[in-house]
A = this chain, B = another copy of it.
């Protein structure tokens, strides 16, 4: 953990405090590992963390990642049949370009698109809370 993810740790503690939840060894461990990722599945974290803690349960990973979502540190995203958890704490919102050839994921942000989305929403009487934009195609390497 060291002193790298202090801010996120602080945000987590704040959330825990507000909801009568406790800070556990597992939650610290999972947070620390999660913050090193861009987006990851619970299953992937399970295998990854099995090295440092072979007895960490899969259910705990799921519970904890969902907790991070509640705390605003993570954001769940459904990709096909799986859920990926995005690290959203220090990077802010971003959308995805997904290569259907090699599964590579590129993140991007575009203010103009965001603005137009607001416009569409307003025109239809909606107030947007979140959105999701995914572009599927082939990256330069897979296109030939």
A125 to B121, CA, bound (A): 30
A113 contact from B97, B116, B134, B138, Cβ within 8 A: B116
A120 to B80, CA, bound (A): 23
Q: Is the CB of A140 within 8 A of B113?
A: no
Q: Is the CB of B108 within 8 A of A127?
A: no
Q: Is the CB of B135 within 8 A of A121?
A: yes
A40 within 8 A of partner (CB): no
A4 within 8 A of partner (CB): no
The 4 closest A-B pairs by CB, nearest first: A125-B140, A128-B137, A131-B135, A133-B133
Chain A residues near B (Cβ < 8 Å): 78, 80-81, 97, 99-100, 106, 108, 110, 112-113, 116-117, 120-121, 124-140, 143
